Structure 1
Amino acid sequence: MEAGYASSFPRVLRRFALFAIAFSVVSITTGIFVNYAYGLTTLGPAAVWLWPVAAVGQILVVLVLAELAAHMPLAGANYQWSARLVNTGFGYTVGALGLLYSAVGLPGIALVGLAPLAATVLGLDAADPLTLLVIAVAALVLAYLVNVIRVQWAARVNNLAVFAEVAGTVALSVLLLVLWATHRGATPDGGHGLGFLGTVNPGTPVADGIVGGALIGIFTLVGFEAAADMAEEAVDARRTVPRAMIVAAVVSGVLGLVALVGFTVAIPDLAAVESSPVPLAAIASFWLGPVLTDVFLVIVVFSMFALLVVAAASNSRLIFAMARDGLLPASRALRRVNAATATPVVALVVSLVVCLALLAYGTLDGAAFTILVGATALVPYLIYLLTLGGYLARRKRLRRNDAGGTAPFSLGRAALPVAGLAMLWLVVVVAALTLPEAFRAADYVVLGGLALTGLWYVAVLRRRLRDGTAGLPQADPSSGRERTLDLA
Structure 2
Amino acid sequence: MIPPPHAPPHPSDEDQLAALGYTQQLKRELGFWTNFGLGFAFVSPVVGLYSIVGAGMFASGPAWIWALLIALSGQILVALVFAELASQFPISGGIYQWSRRLVGPRYGWFSGWIHSWTQIITFTSVSYLGGFWMAALFGRHPDATEQLLWGFGVLLLVSAINLLGQNPLKYSVNVGIAAELIASIAIGLLLLLFFAENDWSVLLHDLGASHNWNGSAAEGFLAAIAVAGWAFVGFDACSALSEEVKDPRRHVPRALLMSLVVVGLVIVMNAVAVIRAQQGVTGLVQVLSVDPLTPLVTDAFGAWLSKPFQAVVLASFLACAIAIQTTATRILFSLSRDQALPLSRHLQKVAPNQVPANAVLTTTLIGAVILCVGLNGSAVSTLIAFTSGGFYASFTLAVAAALWARLRGRWDPGLGAFHLRGWGLLVNVIAVMWVCFETVNIAWPRPQLLAPDAPWYLEWAVPLIGLGLTLTGALYLARNPRPGVPVSTEKTDTAAAVPQ
Q: Same fold (TM over 0.5)?
A: yes
Q: Which runs of 4+ in 1 moved over 6 A?
A: none
The amino acid that maps onto 1:397 is: R
Residue 370 of structure 1, CA deviation: 3.5
Could you tell me which residue of structure 2 aligns to residue 486 of structure 1? none
Quick check: 348-357 or 41-50, which moved more? 41-50
Residue 235 of structure 1, CA deviation: 0.3
1:374-395 deviation line (CA, Å, top 9, x unaligned) = 2112011011111111101112
Check whether the contact 1:16–1:159 (CA below 8 A) recurs between aligned residues. no
The amino acid that maps onto 2:140 is: L
The amino acid that maps onto 1:354 is: I
Could you tell me which residue of structure 2 aligns to residue 471 of structure 1? 485
Residue 63 of structure 1, CA deviation: 0.3
Residue 193 of structure 1, CA deviation: 2.3
The amino acid that maps onto 2:423 is: A
Could you tell me which residue of structure 2 aligns to residue 413 of structure 1? 422
Correspondences of 1:222-371 after superposition (within 5 Å) = 222-274=233-285, 275=287, 276-338=289-351, 340-360=352-372, 362-371=373-382
> Could you say if the C-alpha distance between residues 216 and 371 of structure 1 is closer, same or farther in structure 2, counting changes exceeding 3 Å?
closer
Quick check: 51-60 or 269-278, which moved more? 269-278
Quick check: 134-143 or 259-268, which moved more? 134-143
Residue 215 of structure 1, CA deviation: 3.5
Check whether the contact 2:67–2:225 (CA below 8 A) recurs between aligned residues. yes
Check whether the contact 2:230–2:388 (CA below 8 A) recurs between aligned residues. yes
1:397-442 deviation line (CA, Å, top 9, x unaligned) = 331xx7xx65210111110011111111112212212234545222
> Could you say if the C-alpha distance between residues 133 and 75 of structure 1 is closer, same or farther in structure 2, counting changes exceeding 3 Å?
same
Correspondences of 1:418-437 after superposition (within 5 Å) = 418-437=427-446
What is the rounded CA distance, in whole Å, between the counterparts of 2:290 and 2:265 in structure 1? Answer: 26
Could you tell me which residue of structure 2 aligns to residue 485 of structure 1? none
Residue 474 of structure 1, CA deviation: 1.7
144, 152, 163: which one aligns with 1:148: 163
What is the rounded CA distance, in whole Å, between the counterparts of 1:294 and 1:76 in structure 2? Answer: 38
The amino acid that maps onto 1:471 is: V
> Could you say if the C-alpha distance between residues 208 and 92 of structure 1 is closer, same or farther in structure 2, counting changes exceeding 3 Å?
same
What is the rounded CA distance, in whole Å, between the counterparts of 1:458 and 1:446 in structure 2? Answer: 18
The amino acid that maps onto 1:374 is: A
Q: How high is the TM-score relative to the length of structure 2?
A: 0.87
Using the aligned pairs only, state the percent identity: 26
Check whether the contact 2:127–2:155 (CA below 8 A) recurs between aligned residues. yes
Are residues 1:124 and 2:124 paired?
A: no
Residue 368 of structure 1, CA deviation: 3.7
Check whether the contact 1:190–1:264 (CA below 8 A) recurs between aligned residues. no
SS in 2 for 1:328: coil
The amino acid that maps onto 1:82 is: S
SS in 2 for 1:193: helix
SS in 2 for 1:7: coil
Could you tell me which residue of structure 1 aligns to residue 393 of structure 2? 382
Which residues of structure 2 form unaligned runs of 5+?
1-14, 448-458
Could you tell me which residue of structure 2 aligns to residue 158 of structure 1? 173
Are residues 1:90 and 2:112 paired?
A: no
What is the rounded CA distance, in whole Å, between the counterparts of 1:447 and 1:290 in structure 2? Answer: 47
What is the rounded CA distance, in whole Å, between the counterparts of 1:333 and 1:426 in structure 2? Answer: 34
What is the rounded CA distance, in whole Å, between the counterparts of 1:364 and 1:436 in structure 2? Answer: 22
The amino acid that maps onto 1:473 is: V
Residue 272 of structure 1, CA deviation: 4.1
Check whether the contact 1:118–1:301 (CA below 8 A) recurs between aligned residues. yes
SS in 1 for 2:221: helix
RMSD of aligned C-alpha atoms?
A: 2.0
Check whether the contact 1:114–1:136 (CA below 8 A) recurs between aligned residues. yes
What is the rounded CA distance, in whole Å, between the counterparts of 2:133 and 2:80 in structure 1? Answer: 35
Could you tell me which residue of structure 1 aligns to residue 452 of structure 2? none
Residue 335 of structure 1, CA deviation: 0.8
> Could you say if the C-alpha distance between residues 192 and 134 of structure 1 is closer, same or farther in structure 2, counting changes exceeding 3 Å?
farther
What is the rounded CA distance, in whole Å, between the counterparts of 1:250 and 1:64 in structure 2? Answer: 14
The amino acid that maps onto 1:425 is: W
1:231-286 deviation line (CA, Å, top 9, x unaligned) = 00000000000000011111111111111111110011124445453111122122
Could you tell me which residue of structure 2 aligns to residue 101 of structure 1? 118
Check whether the contact 1:22–1:245 (CA below 8 A) recurs between aligned residues. yes
